[in-house]
Structure 1
Amino acid sequence: MKVYSLGNKAGPTLMLLPGTCCHWKSNFAPVLPLLEPHFHVLCVSYDGFDETEPDTTFPTMEEEAAKIEAYINENLGGHLHAAYGCSLGGSFVGLLAARQNIRLEIGILGSSDLDQASPFVAKLETDIALPLIYPVVRDGRFKSKLLNKKMEKRKQEMPGYVDKFMEIMGGARPYVSLQSCKNQFYSDMITPLPDHWDGPTAIHIFYALKMGEKYRARYAQHYAHPIIHEQDMQHEELLACHPEQWAALVKEICL
């Protein structure tokens, strides 16, 4: 795991945690120039997903969370002003808050689905999803011609969004192993978050309404007092397609 330090080191520290199988730089490229004048930005690059560490493999959510905590304890005196997690990154934000091995003032979950399942169901879903997802990570496109045609149709139905979302994933990355993708996908589903958590971290949630009402119920299940910011958008559309609006909201929450 690597952590990239950017921006204004005199400003409050904001940690950015990428989404499922995403590359840190592409994931946050649209917003980094908008954050750097105001924040000391720390971008996490998970084990198995950084081109400078091609021999690493993503372990589990809890093991990776422990590495993030170790970095914060060693380099920031155990105190982090704010953390934003894109999708799966929001699960990391939830873990960092719940484990309380560091002092996190503000946690922001970005369109996170917080999907949890039994080990059996999680393995089944992983085995179904990975043959579809991994070629996109490795080659930048689906292996199936049918899926590529469906993707083109989705681009026509949602102009701009699909292309932007694929951009934040990071394009073709042949150094990422199937095992890293599998471990990340499976581990995210079986790593529990507490219910009705009411700890010292202020939890903000960017809720993309077009994901569906069941996600609002999940946020209410896991957090006693979540501060929900609704957007009439798709999953992480605010980050991918409206970086100025996203950055303005993050600055409103964190500054």
Structure 2
Amino acid sequence: MKFYESGDSSKPVIFLFPGTCCLYSSFDHILDRLHSYFYTVTVSYDGFDPNEKTEFYSMEDECEKIEQEIKKKYDGRIKAAYGCSLGGSFVSLLIQRKRIHIDHGIIGSSDMDETGQFMAKIQSSVVVPIMYKMVHTGKLPKFMQKKINEADKSKKEMIDGFLNMFGIGQGGNPWITKQSVYNQFYSDLVTKVQHGIDVPGTTIHVFYATKMGRKYEKRYCTYFKNPDIRRHNMQHEELFCCHSAEWVEEVRKAVEGDR
């Protein structure tokens, strides 16, 4: 695992957590703007960094390494953390474990899916071969590419932004192993997030993409006690992928207490 720091170190620290099978570089498009307000630390998960030979083992194993870094470099406390998709599960777990302190945890339209071990194995056996081939080769299956080719311009822009998070279309990521993809996908499904998370001194903000469906808003209110839900009439992580200036402003307002 690596941590990529950038910006003015005198500013408040924000940790950035990528989504499933996504690279730390998926945050590159927002860093310059974010540096106006924060010192950024982008987390690069085991198994998904081009600069080391590692394999993703489990969510809990990654959490321990992140906690060690925050204790060592930031005295166990940071101003904010943003979790993109899967990253939202990491932010939730770090807050509930209470081994470090995060003043503002921001959940980026994460689905927060959970299931038992049996169903997780079935889902992983179906999804992982497709996901691995995509991230490893950087190419989409023909049926997916056909749908994208048939989409209108605005939808293509959204899809391109989403695919950039995986490095798809950029030559692939040959260092990522199938085992890392499986372990990350499976571990996310079976690692339980507590209900009613409520930590003194921590505010949880949710960037809720309303086009995902109402069940997700109910889910956020189950996992978190009194979350600050910020609604956007968008798809999953569309705000982050396609509207970088608006996303940065929303992060600033969440941390500074503006609506």
TM-score after normalising by structure 1: 0.95
Q: Report matched runs for 1:78-157 at 5 Å.
A: 78-142=76-140, 144-154=141-151
Paired with 1:147 and 1:244, the residues of 2 have a C-alpha distance of 29
> In structure 2, what is the equivalent of residue 232 of structure 1?
233
Paired with 1:100 and 1:82, the residues of 2 have a C-alpha distance of 15
Structure 2, unmatched stretches of 5+, are: none
Query: How many residue pairs were aligned?
Result: 252
Paired with 2:2 and 2:152, the residues of 1 have a C-alpha distance of 33
Alpha-carbon contact 2:86-2:188 (below 8 Å) kept = yes
| 1:219 maps to 2:216 | no
> In structure 1, what is the equivalent of residue 204 of structure 2?
203
Paired with 1:128 and 1:151, the residues of 2 have a C-alpha distance of 22
> In structure 2, what is the equivalent of residue 44 of structure 1?
43
Paired with 2:29 and 2:57, the residues of 1 have a C-alpha distance of 28
Secondary structure of the structure 1 residue equivalent to 2:11: coil
How much has 1:180 moved relative to structure 2? 0.6
> In structure 2, what is the equivalent of residue 176 of structure 1?
176
What is the alpha-carbon root mean square deviation over aligned residues? 1.3
Alpha-carbon contact 1:7-1:38 (below 8 Å) kept = no
> In structure 2, what is the equivalent of residue 77 of structure 1?
75
Paired with 2:66 and 2:154, the residues of 1 have a C-alpha distance of 39
Alpha-carbon contact 1:208-1:234 (below 8 Å) kept = yes
Alpha-carbon contact 1:155-1:162 (below 8 Å) kept = no
How much has 1:151 moved relative to structure 2? 3.4
Secondary structure of the structure 1 residue equivalent to 2:174: coil
How much has 1:167 moved relative to structure 2? 1.2
How much has 1:38 moved relative to structure 2? 2.0
- What is the one-letter code of the residue matched to 2:114? Q
Secondary structure of the structure 2 residue equivalent to 1:159: helix
Secondary structure of the structure 1 residue equivalent to 2:156: coil
Secondary structure of the structure 1 residue equivalent to 2:21: coil
* Stretches of 4+ aligned residues off by more than 6 angstroms: none
How much has 1:147 moved relative to structure 2? 3.1
Secondary structure of the structure 1 residue equivalent to 2:29: coil
Paired with 1:145 and 1:81, the residues of 2 have a C-alpha distance of 43
How much has 1:176 moved relative to structure 2? 0.5
Deviations 1:71-104 (A, max 9, x none): 0001111111100000000000000100000011
Paired with 1:43 and 1:240, the residues of 2 have a C-alpha distance of 16
Paired with 1:153 and 1:177, the residues of 2 have a C-alpha distance of 31
How much has 1:15 moved relative to structure 2? 0.4
In terms of mean alpha carbon deviation, does 168-177 or 88-97 score higher? 168-177
Residues 154 and 134 of structure 1: CA distance in aligned 2, closer, same or farther (over 3 Å): farther
> In structure 2, what is the equivalent of residue 158 of structure 1?
155
- What is the one-letter code of the residue matched to 2:68? A
Paired with 2:251 and 2:85, the residues of 1 have a C-alpha distance of 16
TM-score after normalising by structure 2: 0.94
Residues 233 and 69 of structure 1: CA distance in aligned 2, closer, same or farther (over 3 Å): same
> In structure 2, what is the equivalent of residue 35 of structure 1?
34
- What is the one-letter code of the residue matched to 1:78? G
Paired with 2:148 and 2:184, the residues of 1 have a C-alpha distance of 24
Deviations 1:193-219 (A, max 9, x none): 111112122100000011111111110
In terms of mean alpha carbon deviation, does 166-175 or 77-86 score higher? 166-175
Aligned-residue sequence identity (percent) comes to 42
Alpha-carbon contact 1:7-1:40 (below 8 Å) kept = yes
Secondary structure of the structure 2 residue equivalent to 1:5: strand
How much has 1:146 moved relative to structure 2? 2.5
Secondary structure of the structure 2 residue equivalent to 1:41: strand
